[in-house]
């Protein structure tokens, strides 16, 4: 949308996050997701300065078919004392094939002096020459005024002159950058207002989150007149990250009534945010606004009672608008309303049996007092619910015994061996599995033992394993809680186990996780269990 730009810099600025390393294939995949979300511009990286980014732009010409977004190449103004036409990094921008080039330029006089080691006049000439050169070649040019707010504070006249120079040379947008992330919303709003009045340029905003205000600062800039917002998906970025573009867009559309994405695209936000997390291998942040797993989760019994009457009593917007869902968490804080609503979510109508509802609630609280947690283990709660409602827990196999041996020798990695004895489908099986740890070995042995009776267990994978010590004062004799996450390749679920023995707690969670996987697959227990 020409009147308002949503500009994503996940592939460039977001990729600077500690521990995040994107391949060219990763970047192409994320670009497709961003285009599907409907952002207006995707900043692909810095061609010429980074071989991976150069390759990305080369492949983007044939491998990317963008429907909503325009690809932007990032780079710097020419070097001091060199013509723009002769600068090889400017040439790389020119040759990238990108319709838009976003130039970074110094707008803080101290940075010009200490970082560029040139004069203020030469820095302005670098801005002017590079913008004009790229515009003459037919490319659109945006300019990121780096360290603008700090520069404006120290030397407002010079910071404004950088903006004027870029605009007069043909830059469509000058994005004011809070590069150090230390500004507050009222300061940002005041500066943007002053710059608009002093330059008449079209302004954008680029905020980092070092003071925890990146989203708020971005919104303050928009309120003051900025019509171009930059950010990253999931708030990726160096140090504490950039403004989370999904949160910015959701606030603009749902709180400000502005349409900044193509119609209906906001409903894809949760799906796309989580899909990109899978590509980056950075676990989704459960408390992320709008799209986090806990964004619309209710735990306290008082909340659940109110939500039962009207979900909007404890929700600031409808989760469906961003493609998320309301969740009811069952915990020791739960009242009957929480259990009733959670049961309804899982397909059980408990409202008509108050006595059963009370028994389930009491059982949950008793188990949680012993260390179990159901708010992080929905699958374990559903198995408990089936047991209480139907009179028995789903059973696909009967465990006779299990044992684990770990063999460790000097100079070699430890190897674990597990043996399980089970009855499944009327047959007794004794299977030994090996693994790089006791839980891995138990997983292999259990699935091997019941695989003949239930072939679908071969599709199950253990994808996460978490341990917590519950009473640390007891040291190695403490109670241990284990959460295991299994997946069938499409969905995932979590189960919990508790005990003084970490392997025993792990076995409980693993056993329930496999059982739930068979329930979820619609498998009927064979006669003989």
Tens of pLDDT along 451-498?
A: 999 999 999 988 888 888 876 555 566 788 899 999 888 888 999 999
Q: State the pLDDT confidence band at 368, using cuts at 50, 70 and 90.
A: confident
Beta-carbon contacts of residue 367 (< 8 Å; ≥ 6 apart): 374, 384
CA-to-CA distance for 216 and 198, rounded, in angstroms?
A: 24
Q: What is the pLDDT of residue 332?
A: 47
CA atoms of 142 and 12, how far apart (whole Å): 15
DSSP letter at 118?
Answer: S
Domains of the chain: 5-280 (3.20.20.70), 297-369 (no CATH), 398-520 (3.30.160.270)
What is d(CA 19, CA 238) in angstroms, rounded to the nearest whole number? 10
Position 72 pLDDT exceeds 70: yes
pLDDT at 268 over 50: yes
Predicted TM-score (pTM) of this structure: 0.71
Tokens of 117: 């080691």
Which H or E run includes 112?
Answer: none
CA 158/CA 179 separation, integer angstroms: 17
State percent of the chain over pLDDT 90: 65
Q: Token pair of 186, please?
A: 């009222």
Average pLDDT, the chain: 89
404, two tokens? 């684990």
Confidence of residue 529 (pLDDT cuts 50, 70, 90): very low
- What is residue 483's three-state secondary structure? strand
């Amino acid at each position: 949308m020409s009147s308002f730009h949503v500009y994503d810099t996940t592939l460039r600025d977001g990729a600077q996050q500690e521990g995040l390393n994107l391949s060219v294939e990763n970047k192409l995949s994320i670009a497709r997701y961003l285009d599907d979300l409907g952002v207006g511009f995707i900043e692909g990286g810095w061609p010429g300065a980074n071989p991976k980014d150069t390759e990305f732009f080369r492949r983007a010409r044939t491998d990317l078919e963008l429907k909503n977004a325009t690809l932007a190449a990032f780079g710097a103004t020419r070097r001091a004392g060199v013509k723009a036409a002769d600068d090889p990094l400017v040439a790389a921008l020119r040759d990238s094939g990108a319709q838009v080039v976003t130039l970074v330029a110094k707008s803080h006089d101290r940075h010009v002096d200490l970082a560029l080691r040139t004069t203020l006049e030469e820095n302005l000439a670098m801005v002017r020459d590079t913008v004009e050169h790229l515009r003459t070649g037919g490319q659109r040019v945006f300019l990121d005024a780096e360290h603008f707010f700090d520069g404006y504070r120290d030397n407002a006249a010079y910071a404004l002159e950088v903006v004027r120079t870029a605009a007069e040379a043909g830059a469509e947008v000058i994005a004011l950058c809070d590069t150090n992330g230390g500004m507050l919303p009222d300061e940002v709003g005041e500066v943007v207002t002053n710059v608009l009045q002093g330059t008449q340029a079209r302004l954008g905003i680029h905020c980092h989150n070092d003071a925890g205000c990146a989203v708020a600062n971005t919104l303050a800039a928009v309120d003051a007149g900025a019509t171009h917002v930059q950010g990253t998906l999931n708030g990726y970025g160096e140090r504490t990250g950039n403004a989370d573009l999904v949160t910015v867009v959701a606030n603009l559309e749902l709180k400000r009534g502005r349409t900044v994405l193509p119609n209906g695209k906001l409903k894809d936000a949760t799906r796309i945010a989580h899909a990109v997390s899978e590509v980056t291998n950075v676990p989704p942040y459960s408390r992320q606004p709008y799209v986090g797993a806990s964004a619309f989760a209710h735990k306290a019994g008082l909340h659940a009672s109110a939500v039962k009457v009207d979900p909007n009593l404890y929700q600031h917007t409808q989760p469906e608008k961003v493609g998320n869902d309301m969740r009811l968490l069952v915990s020791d804080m739960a009242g009957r309303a929480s259990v009733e609503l959670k049961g309804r979510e899982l397909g059980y109508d408990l409202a008509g049996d108050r006595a059963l509802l009370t028994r389930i609630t009491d059982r949950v609280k008793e188990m949680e007092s012993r260390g179990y947690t159901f708010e992080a283990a929905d699958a374990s709660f559903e198995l408990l619910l089936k047991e209480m409602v139907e009179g028995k827990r789903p059973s696909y196999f009967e465990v006779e015994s299990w044992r684990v041996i770990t063999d460790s020798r000097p100079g070699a990695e430890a190897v674990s061996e597990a043996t399980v004895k089970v009855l499944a489908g009327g047959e007794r099986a004794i299977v030994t599995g090996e693994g790089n740890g006791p839980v891995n070995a138990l997983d292999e042995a259990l699935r091997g033992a019941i695989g003949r009776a239930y072939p679908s267990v071969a599709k199950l994978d253990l994808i996460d394993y978490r341990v917590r010590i519950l009473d640390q004062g007891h040291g190695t004799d403490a109670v241990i809680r284990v959460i295991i996450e299994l997946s069938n390749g499409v969905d995932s679920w979590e189960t919990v186990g508790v005990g003084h023995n970490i392997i025993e707690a792990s076995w409980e969670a693993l056993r329930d996780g496999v059982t739930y996987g068979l329930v979820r697959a619609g498998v009927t227990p064979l006669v003989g269990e």
